[in-house]
Amino acid sequence: MKKPLRTASFTALFTCLTVTAHAAAIVTADDFNSYPLGAATFPTAVQFGTATVVLDGGGGNAVLVTGTASEGGFYAPGFEWNPIVQPGPAGPNTTTTLADYTISFDLTINSTYIPANGFELWISYGTADFATDGGTPDDGSNLYPISVTGFTTGVTQTVTLAMDAGHFTPFQYGDAFDPTVDQWRILLNGVDFGSTAGDTLSFTTDNFQVEVVPEPSTYALLLGGMCALAGVRRRKS
């Protein structure tokens, strides 16, 4: 009876480690299902357009952003909100640098017009939003460009960004970001530096999720469990 019990013990241990690792990875998720349909009341700022909570076609909600350029030149419709309401250490944010996080979300461009310079995702932190602070929050912000290469009107794409890569250093404002003490804000907008009057952008976004990148020690622990389980099975056979 000893060998089966040992195998069961390692199996239970490995299962526990796997479930724990996956459960701890998600910092926050927002599918907008908790918000009422209609004009969005939750954003802290909407620029160059409107934000509306709409049905996503799958039984939940999404956010629809629409806007029309009134004149040629710079055009960047989007919206900003606070998906994380409580920083760490009492909250879910456990590490101190953006390098430990990834963010993913669904993006659908509804209009035939697609912004020439793609989209921007801003991670900001501090006490002021973009609308009241002239585009630069008090404590700091990082810009992550999103290419629209491969996007087709009406087709949903899932965008995943590593928070420590791809941001433009010239657009990194303010102090260092510490997720354990700072409040997060997210701004998503299209951007076109050469739009023409009448260009209308419509896009839908849904299923935002922020995850902690597992530490190397987590991978080592899981690998150790797998090796131990394999060894027990080999001895049993």
Whether 76 shows a pLDDT value over 50: the answer reads: yes
CB 75 within 8 A of CB 48: yes
* SS3 (DSSP) at 99: helix
Closest by Cα among 168, 116, 114, 159 to 141: 168
pLDDT tens digits, 108-122:
999 999 999 999 998
Query: How far apart are alpha carbons 188 and 205 in whole angstroms?
Result: 9
Biggest alpha carbon distance in the chain? 79
Closest by Cα among 80, 79, 97, 102 to 27: 102
Return mean pLDDT, the chain: 74
Nearest-5° angle of CA 199, CA 167, CA 202?
20
Entry pTM = 0.74
26-219 under CATH 2.60.120.260, yes or no:
yes
* Domain residue limits, the chain: 26-219
Closest by Cα among 109, 104, 208 to 155: 109
Q: Where does the pLDDT of residue 101 fall: very low under 50, low under 70, confident under 90, or very high at 90 and above? A: confident
The dihedral sign for the CA sequence 63, 51, 146, 218: negative
Percent of the chain with pLDDT over 70: 58
Query: How far apart are alpha carbons 93 and 210 in whole angstroms?
Result: 10
Rounded to 5 degrees, φ, ψ at 215 are -75, 155
Q: Which residue has the tokens 């602070």?
A: 133
CB neighbours of residue 2 within 10 Å: 6
Whether 132 shows a pLDDT value over 80: the answer reads: no
Q: Which residue has the tokens 């918000």?
A: 35
Q: Compute CA distances 229 → 5, 144, 221, 225, 226, whole Å.
A: 12, 42, 12, 6, 5
- Write down the number of H helices and E strands in the chain: 2, 15
CB 120 within 8 A of CB 206: no
Counting Cα atoms < 13 Å in the Cβ hemisphere of 99 gives: 3
Whether 213 shows a pLDDT value over 50: the answer reads: yes
Query: How far apart are alpha carbons 94 and 23 in whole angstroms?
Result: 13
Higher pLDDT, 131 or 206: 206
Higher pLDDT, 203 or 132: 203
